[in-house]
Structure 1
Amino acid sequence: MEHLEYKQKVTIMIAIMAAMLFAALNQTIVGTALPIIVADIGGMDYFSWVFTIYMLTTSITAILVGKLSDTYGRKPFILVGIGVFIVGSFMSGTSVNIYQLIIYRGLQGFGGGMIISTSFTAIGDLFSPRERGRWQGLMSSVFGLASVFGPTLGGYIVDTWAWNWVFWVFLPFGIIAFIMIWKMFPHTKTKAKTSVDFIGAIVLALAIVPLLLAFSWAGKTFAWDSAMIIGLFVWSTAALAIFIFAESKAKNPVIPLHLFKNSIFSVSNLTGLLMGMGMFGAIMYMPFFIQGVMGMSATKTGFIMMSMMLSMVVTSTLGGQLITKTGRYKIFAVIGLVIMGIGMFSMSLMTVDTTVLGAVRNLILVGLGLGLTFPVLTLTVQNAVDHKYLGVATSASQFFRQAGGTIGVSIMGSIMNMIMSDKMSEMAAQSDDSLGNLDGVSALEDPQVLMDPDIIGQIRQGVPEQVVPVFNQLIEAMRGVLSTALSGSFLFGTVVLGTAFILILFLREIPLRLSNQSTEQKPEEAKKSS
């Protein structure tokens, strides 16, 4: 599709961006609304799974679809992806408990994986590596804009209407995106018929799922040194070894192992994994601080979170333009990770006394860094491999980023719950039990009530006037507990981003190719360009 007229390419990109906008809006709208949803249907202990299952199914689907789309074309998969995503979104709004919500979010993830994988790969089909920087930046801006309006609208919906509409409000946009892709996107496929490596995909899933369960349960449901957790880690390691063996023998492997011999491919994807751990941690847990610690409503939380995404839109757009203009890209990733790391560290220093201005400043820093780094890592991977591996390489990039998010959200959730549990136990031991016999006060044993100011207000009304000061002290103490727990999670994110910064310094920068017809550089050419 590289030789299509420019006007036709732009038209196709509009259709792709419409599909990406639909998926991104449905993903980002949940973050701000989830504390209220959890307060209604329960399941604080399984909170992280609402995001984790989505990222898990997205990751597995994206990596398989990337390989299939190299053979059968992008169009069928993006259409099926939109359809599955629409069904998952509708069903999520019908959830009556946390378990149903997790299942339906998993279904959304299957559709989201298809949309994300084919959308970013299509950019590589349409434009040469030198031109892709601009479009990768614009695609990241679409996600950023969705992240601006999504949380704000999500907060408004749960504050004004029923939370179910968080999942239903954008369904018409999904139908429009489906029609646009159907009409505008050309269908292309290779003539060669190849086998599908379903065994590799299944074994890969069997390696990821136990790893995810281990990080989710360790320190909360089971001790880190328990037989269950150790067994899950052993299972995951064994499955990974089997996966590597299976891929080395497969005719058409889901992830060609020889790609990892390319240092640019390996460094970029490992950096993406680490960046995903920090990025998704900030997006998912910052609303808990704003609502639970600062006491803001869901709507106000959305406006505060908007600062992070707006700054991301600015730097992703400008960064993409500069990459296309200069042909340089490594410097943007390096600067981006430094800024993002500073922002995450600043988040770890937040307390109950943190002002709205302080929270916004920290979010802007994370957003600025994220916007600079986000488009680069996909571009480097696409530029480093031959065009026939474009789909699988792009999907691998998305997979590692989503996998990082899956692991990061689970670990940060585990850290938050462990610290919160220890602090709540200490607080209970030191309590004078002045409120212990009053109706409704027992609900304060669960910190999730901090996410719903209405519940706190109802409990306060039932407290005798002379005991209200003690009640207020208890609420402030609980906010302090939640703040401390979240600080631990954000500090972990800081360490992860610091590691990503060190790793990106080893990224070898090679010239951006001027045509998709170019093959991989020969070793001697690569040495000259490094």
Structure 2
Amino acid sequence: MEHLTYQRKVTIMAAIIASMFFSSINQTIVGVALPRIIAKLGGMEYYTWVITIYLLTSTISTILVGKLSDIYGRKYFILSGIVIFMAGAFLAGTSTDIIQLIVYRGIQGTGAGIIMATAFTAIGDLFSPRERGRWSGLMSAIFGMSSILGPGLGGYIVDHFEWHWVFWLFLPLGILAFFMILFLFPKVERQESQSIDYPGSLLLTLTIVPMLLAFSWAGTKYPWSSTMIIGLFAFTLTALVLFIFTERKVKTPVLPLDIFKNSVVTISNVIGFIMNAGMMGALMYMPFYVQGVMGISPTYAGYVTMPMSISMLAMSAYTGRRMTKTGKYKNLALTGMAIMVFGMFLMIIMKNIPVAVLSMIIFGSGLGLGMPVFMLAVQNVVDSKDLGVATASVQLFRNLGGTIGIAVMGTVLSTSIANKMNGLISASAGLNSSGLDSETTKQLTRLMDPQLLLDQSKLSVIQNGLPEQAQPVFAQLLEGLRQALATSLSNVFLTGTIVLVVALVLTFLLKEMPLRTTVHKVSEPRIENQRNLLRIENEYDELTSS
């Protein structure tokens, strides 16, 4: 699509941005509202599954569609992704129990994966990596904008309306995005020499699904050493070996292993994996902290997380402009990762809302600096024929990291809470509950559930139903419950910090390749000429700026 006029490219980008905003706003609006939705539907033990299933299905659809879009073009895949996402959103709003919500969120995730895989790749079809820096910053800004609007809006809806509207509110935007893509996005002819890798697609799916199930169930539903978990990991390893063997034999592999011979691709994907695993502590469990520990309503919880989105938006825009101007990215990645580590560290020691807000601002700034870099670094070094699958590989590793990170963080949280609750139950036996009747004592024992902290209205009902002499016992138990949750969440944030430190160390190994000024990758004899041109452009920029 590089032959299109600049004006035509801008109109296509408008359609892509509309579809991306529709997908991202529907994700961010759910985050803050989800604790209240779970409190209404029940099933606290399945909380992480609502997030995990979304990432699992989006991960699979992302990598499968990546290669297919290289063969058939991006248009019809992004259209199908919007339709599937809208269907999942509508159905999620009709859920009557947690199992239905999980299933429908899985449908949403499938559509989201298709949208993400095709939208980011389409930018690579339209612009050179050097120009892409600016557009990558804009796309990150779209995520930032949705992150600003979504949490506050989601919290407001569950506070003042039925929670179903969290999923239904932006369905008209999905319809608009569909027709914009339909009429503005050009059709690309199929690459006739390419074939579909059905065995590889099946084996890749059979590798991903049991692996994510194992990480999701280990330490919570089943012990790590249980037959179920060991069996799932064994199945994963077997499928992975067969997948690698198959990909070396087929004509058009769903995930060409040759792209990982380039160190930039490998290091970028590993960093993306680790970074997403670590940062899920901030994105998923901060609402838990402000609602459960601090007792903030969902509406105001959205305001606590909003500064992260604002800082991410500002720094993403700066990162995009900087990469377009200089053609370089490594220092931005290093700086961003270091700032993210510091922001996550503040979450470990936070004791009040101002520190929580400060940690969000710092973390968002680092995220805005570092996140756009790795996708662009990968797209810069791969051949155009592999652009879709290379872009999808970045999304794959990020989603895998996020999913496994959620599972590990969930295990850390549940284990910590279980230990703290055992201590709290033992301590509660020594509370002065003499003179209380059996019904009052029974009401007080209902406080031994951290899920109650996410539903302030239910807590008020319990408190108001207690006699005056039981109020001190209620206050002591409630404070102990909040302390147990706070300590457990600090352990989650500590785990995230350690993981992000590993990602920071790996970023030093990232090789910096000058960003190309052509859409297609140039041949080796022309690389030196391109570098000379880049040097001249930088010298010209320095002269004009001075």
| TM superposition score category, shorter chain reference | over 0.9
SS in 1 for 2:418: helix
Please list, as runs of the form range in 1=range in 2, the aligned pairs for 1:469-508 lying within 5 A after superposition. 469-508=472-511
Deviation (angstroms), 1:198: 2.4
Aligned residues: 525
Q: Distance in 1 between matches of 2:523 and 2:271?
A: 22
Correspondence 1:466 to 2:469: yes
- In the aligned structure 1, how far is the partner of 2:201 from the partner of 2:407? 22
2:395 counterpart (398, 412, 415): 398
Q: Distance in 2 between matches of 1:364 and 1:156?
A: 22
Residue equivalent to 2:355: 358
Distance 1:250 1:483 in 2: 52
Q: CA deviation at 1:208?
A: 1.7
Structure 2 residue 519 is matched with structure 1 residue 519: no
Asked if 1:22 corresponds to 2:27, the answer is no
**Residues 46 and 296 of structure 1: is their aligned pair in 2 closer, same or farther, counting only changes over 3 Å?**
same
Q: Secondary structure at the match of 2:248?
A: helix
Contact 2:65–2:77 (Cα < 8 Å) also in 1 = yes
Partner of residue 453, structure 2: 450
Structure 1 partner of 2:535: none
Cα distance change, pair 419–523 in 1 and its aligned pair in 2 (3 A): farther
* Distance in 1 of aligned mates of 2:112 and 2:377: 23
Tell me the distance in 2 between the aligned counterparts of 1:317 and 1:196.
38
TM-superposition CA deviations, 1:285-339 (whole Å, max 9, x none): 1100010001000000011110111110000011111110111111111100000
**Alignment map for 1:87-486 (pairs within 5 Å):** 87-350=87-350, 354-432=351-429, 434=433, 437-438=439-440, 439-486=442-489
Contact 1:386 1:520 in 2 (8 A): no
C-alpha deviation, 1:521, in angstroms: 4.2
**Aligned-partner residue type, residue 405 of structure 1:** G
Question: Is the partner of 1:3 in helix, strand or coil?
Answer: coil
Structure 2 CA distance for aligned equivalents of residues 376 and 189 of structure 1: 30
> Which residue of 1 is the match for residue 9 of structure 2?
9
* CA distance, structure 2, for counterparts of residue 524 and residue 166 of structure 1: 50
Q: In the aligned structure 1, how far is the partner of 2:404 from the partner of 2:245?
A: 24
Helix, strand or coil for the counterpart of 1:176? helix
When residues 347 and 474 of structure 1 are mapped into structure 2, their CA distance, relative to the original with a 3 A threshold, is: same
Please tell me whether the aligned partners of residues 281 and 405 of structure 1 are also in contact (alpha carbons under 8 angstroms). no
Q: Deviations over 1:337-382 (max 9, x none)?
A: 00001111111223xxx22111000011110011111111110000
How much does 1:251 deviate? 1.4
Identity rate, percent: 53
Mapped contact 2:50–2:105 kept (Cα < 8 A): yes
Give the distance between the partners of 2:471 and 2:495, measured in 1 at CA: 37
Q: 1:211-252: CA deviations, max 9, x gaps?
A: 222222222222222222222222212221111111111211
**Change in CA separation of 1:45 and 1:466 when aligned onto 2, cut-off 3 Å:** same
Aligned letter for 1:380? A
Gaps of 5+ in 1: none
Q: Partners of 1:195 and 1:188 in 2: how far apart?
A: 16
Q: Tell which structure's C-alpha radius of gyration is larger.
A: 2
Deviation at residue 429 of structure 1 after TM alignment:
1.6
Q: CA RMSD in A?
A: 1.7
TM-score, normalised with respect to structure 2: 0.94
Alignment check: 8 A CA contact 1:279 1:370 kept: no
SS at match of 1:2: coil
Match of 2:36 in 1: 36
Q: State the distance in 1 between where 2:399 and 2:522 align.
A: 28
The residue type paired with residue 427 of structure 1 is L
Name structure 2 gaps, 5 residues minimum.
533-546
| 1:195 CA drift (Å) | 1.8
8 A Cα contact 1:460 1:471, kept in partner: yes
Q: Point out 4+ residue stretches in structure 1 off by more than 6 angstroms.
A: 522-526
CA contact (8 A) 2:346 2:355 kept: no
Per-residue deviation, 1:517: 2.7
Cα distance change of structure 1 residues 222 and 522 upon mapping to structure 2, 3 Å threshold: farther
